[in-house]
Structure 1
Amino acid sequence: MTTTARRGPGRPSLTERRREDTRTEVSRVAARLFTERGYDATTVEDIAAGSGMALRTFYRYFRAKEETLAPLFAAATRDWVDRLADCPPELGLVDALLAAYRASVRHSRVTNGIDEAQLRALLRMMEGHPAFRATWLVVHRDSEDQLRPVIAARVGAAPDDLAVRLAAGTANTAVRIAMERWAVGEASVRSAEEAVAQALREVASGGLLAP
């Protein structure tokens, strides 16, 4: 008698995990090629070849090259949200958001090999490339939805409460804008972490993210 292992609720299947692993590996290759050669000079064929796959196979995972960084961006935001959920409940929301972000940046640097110089280069590439920027914005829109239940649990409210939605939207937007400003040299800080800290404290001072 053959038994089939059952998946827990919300747990991806082995096929789904393998697909996501492949997408992430292609994303790492694309990030490396974009920073080495530039966005315009890197073709879909380059990314497919660098990933060791046929062009036809590439299109099973991505529709175009501007989508290739989505897995890395999405993994970073998921890790940020997961780390926020694990922060001690006595830690204020702004401090928890910042601590989770800093830990997530360090994790991404180790697991994906993306240092601040590469991150800055990738974010700068969005300027003048609307399709690439659209991918970045979609990832951040998704992260806002992921933040809501975690913030709700920390403040003892429902995920759909207006205050929770505003807090999630404000935190997410603050991080995105801070990273974009830092990338193009507008922020008077030395690192993305400092830029994010500055932005979160700025919005907190207005009471939007106060506990």
Structure 2
Amino acid sequence: MTSERNRATPTPGRPALSETRRAATRREVAMVAAHLFAENGYTATTVDDIAAAAGMGLRTFYRYFPGKEDVVAPLLAIGAQAWADELAACPPAIPLREAIGRSYRTATATALAEEGIAESLLRPLLRAATELPALRATWLRVQQDCEAQLIPIIAARTGRSPDDLDVAIAAAMANTAVRLAVELWAEGAVPGSAADAVDSCLTRLAGQTLL
């Protein structure tokens, strides 16, 4: 009895198999939706279209997502999580600003390759996420979550407490610089890749004299 109970208990710190499967399904449906949004536009794409393309019924769809505006959140969150992971793994000797830019570039390239997301799909998806009111709320929620992830990482790199106000400000400034860079890139307002735009904004942030 004890061995059976132990096998049924998830390992501490590791998501249960059902949670892993749920997250994988959410990413798969999000990818389907992203392609439909890119091809037909967000407004013209219905929940029925997404569910049908994903091979699931409407009731199943709503078990995974509250609504259409939430379906892209898993894709938007992938980049944020990958960035946080890369920044945490960046050697401590690298200055914070450089570490932020380097980790973002590595995380973006890795996440896009692993998820099979082409730039031709990423740009319109991000543009829709930043311009459409329904998706904008999801985009900003993901950004808020990302900022919260950065705080303990920056605290560890700088030897400060996560409750330190300077740490919170640094996380907010870094995340905002990256968000603005990505939004400008999605609009086509800056040349190069999204990572190039991030490097440019971080360089401007380092030399900011208005405050």
Both structures adopt the same fold (TM-score exceeding 0.5): yes
Structure 1 alignment gaps of length 5 or more: none
| Greater fraction of residues in helix | 2
Picking from 38, 44, 67, the partner of 2:41 is 38
Map 1:11-90 onto structure 2 (within 5 A).
Answer: 11-90=14-93
Cα distance in 1, alignment partners of residues 131 and 193 from structure 2: 23
Q: Distance in 2 between matches of 1:203 and 1:175?
A: 10
Alignment of 1:147-162 (within 5 A): 147-162=150-165
Return the letter of the residue paired with 1:23.
R
Matched letter for residue 68 of structure 2: K
Please state how far the C-alpha of 1:127 moved relative to its aligned partner: 5.4
- Looking at structure 1, the residues matched to 142 and 130 of structure 2 have their Cα atoms a distance apart, in angstroms, of 17
What is the TM-score of this pair, normalised by structure 1? 0.92
Aligned-CA RMSD value? 1.5
Asked if structure 2 preserves the Cα contact closer than 8 Å seen for 1:116 and 1:192, the reply is no
Query: Could you tell me which residue of structure 2 aligns to residue 198 of structure 1?
Result: 200
- How many angstroms apart in 1 are the aligned matches of 2:30 and 2:46? 13
Alpha-carbon distance between aligned partners in 1 of 2:97 and 2:57, rounded to the nearest angstrom? 45
Secondary structure of the 1:89 match is coil
Match of 2:126 among 118, 123, 126: 123
1:204 is aligned with what amino acid? A
**C-alpha distance in 2 between matches for 1:8 and 1:153:** 26
Letter in 1 for 2:6: T
Aligned with residue 177 of structure 1, among 177, 180, 184: 180
Higher mean displacement: 198-207 or 78-87: 198-207
- Cα offset, 1:200, TM superposition: 0.9
Letter in 2 for 1:33: L
Unaligned 5+ residue runs, structure 2? none
Contact 1:175 1:196 in 2 (8 A): yes
Q: What SS does the corresponding residue of 2:129 show, helix, strand or coil?
A: coil
Give 1:110 shift.
1.2
> TM-score scaled by structure 2?
0.92
Q: Which amino acid aligns with 2:115?
A: N
Deviation at 1:206, TM superposition (A): 3.1
Distance 2:129 2:83 in 1: 22
Structure 2 residue aligned with 1:93: 96
SS in 1 for 2:12: coil
**Taking every aligned residue pair, what percent have the same amino acid on both sides?**
51
Amino acid in structure 1 at the alignment position of 2:180: I
Structure 1's consecutive aligned runs of 4 or more residues displaced over 4 angstroms after TM superposition are none
Shift of 1:128: 4.8
Give the paired residue count.
206
Residues 129 and 138 in structure 2, CA contact (< 8 A), matched pair in contact too: no
For the 8 Å contact 1:174–1:199, the answer to whether it is kept is: yes
